[in-house]
Structure 1
């Protein structure tokens, strides 16, 4: 069963230990957020290898906090918000810096950032209607992972030789899949938001 198949409204989704804040997974997610400015400075100063190292640590910690949250039964609402926030910040920072360095085209920035802006506006509408943030769809998570793989590869594609050529081909394959899945998840989010908002309408008496 996917997140979109769960019964009940988004605000009613039960999360074990949902109100807990001081958990190991949340601490790992907080460290990932703190790594974003470090990654930004390294990337802006052309320290690509160090930046890639930080990105690898972030990716490993992303997997680790999910495993620990499940094994220790420490899933929380805060964790559900911190984890995708760190992912999106890494994507946004990498995307903007790579665009400034002419590694990726502007249209890619518009496609990814535009989707996030649209869903942020939808989230504001949901919060105004007292509907909690909707669950993260597995398609969106897959798209995020694809993009997180794509950008380091596109960075490596700037190197000359077979490694750079192969990285460019694989990186753009991940980028196209990532953008497609990212928007597919966005459409699913919009449909789920529409369902939740329709539930608030008063019943029409015939």
Structure 2
């Protein structure tokens, strides 16, 4: 069975985290983020075919850069924060575009933006910046669901693919992704408070 989470990890080889920015995974992450404004341009012009292809590429490279980072042993400090930031911004922009263009209901963007806003405020209050937490499996599954459901809604608008089941399936997958997003956000919130408590306890004992 193909591993989707943690794919590319080589058993017995210790992962080395480097300070290098110019790695293959980081370049893919940057290119993925640059694909987001191209996606917005296509959707705004109702060019749903090219928009569908762009979103599929953006979504698939989210898995590819993580795989290559582990496979090529090119995990970097920059990549550890750049990848989740690029994913989060891409999700917010894609969701907002869908709602503005009437492709998806408002609950899609609200269920993404509100939990993210809470996490950002919490991180600023507790750590005055990023809490530097590892990406959870729930977060990875959430992202995969959102990036699977969204292209289905686009495909349904492409001439020749106007099937009702595509819209129904896309909305169902997006709903699962939004529920997963809230669940993952609650996990990050809990992890941030636990880390803050440990650091306060260590400082008090120091």
Shorter-normalised TM range: 0.7 to 0.9
For each residue in 1:169-190, what CA deviation from the matched residue of structure 2 results, as whole angstroms up to 9, or x when unmatched? 2112211210111111111111
User: What's the CA shift for 1:192?
Assistant: 0.7
> Partners in 2 of 1:57 and 1:162 — Cα distance?
19
For each residue in 1:6-47, what CA deviation from the matched residue of structure 2 results, as whole angstroms up to 9, or x when unmatched? xxxxxxxx9622322111111111111111111111111111
> Partners in 1 of 2:56 and 2:130 — Cα distance?
35
Give the ranges of 4+ consecutive aligned residues of structure 1 lying more than 3 Å apart after TM superposition.
157-163, 202-205
User: What's the CA shift for 1:123?
Assistant: 2.4
**What residue number does 1:178 align with?**
177
> Partners in 2 of 1:86 and 1:185 — Cα distance?
17
For each residue in 1:139-166, what CA deviation from the matched residue of structure 2 results, as whole angstroms up to 9, or x when unmatched? 0110111011111112233468875211
User: 2:49–2:155: 8 Å Cα contact kept in structure 1?
Assistant: no
**What residue number does 1:9 align with?**
none
**TM-score, normalised with respect to structure 1:** 0.83
Question: Aligned pair in 2 of structure 1 residues 75, 39: CA closer, same or farther (>3 Å)?
Answer: same
Question: Aligned pair in 2 of structure 1 residues 24, 126: CA closer, same or farther (>3 Å)?
Answer: farther
For each residue in 1:81-133, what CA deviation from the matched residue of structure 2 results, as whole angstroms up to 9, or x when unmatched? 222222223222221121112222222221111111111112223432x7742
**What residue number does 1:8 align with?**
none
**What residue number does 1:72 align with?**
72
User: 1:154–1:172: 8 Å Cα contact kept in structure 2?
Assistant: yes
**TM-score, normalised with respect to structure 2:** 0.83
> Partners in 2 of 1:80 and 1:180 — Cα distance?
25
User: 2:155–2:161: 8 Å Cα contact kept in structure 1?
Assistant: no
Structure 1: give runs of 5+ residues left out of the alignment: 3-13
SS of residue in 1 equivalent to 2:59: helix
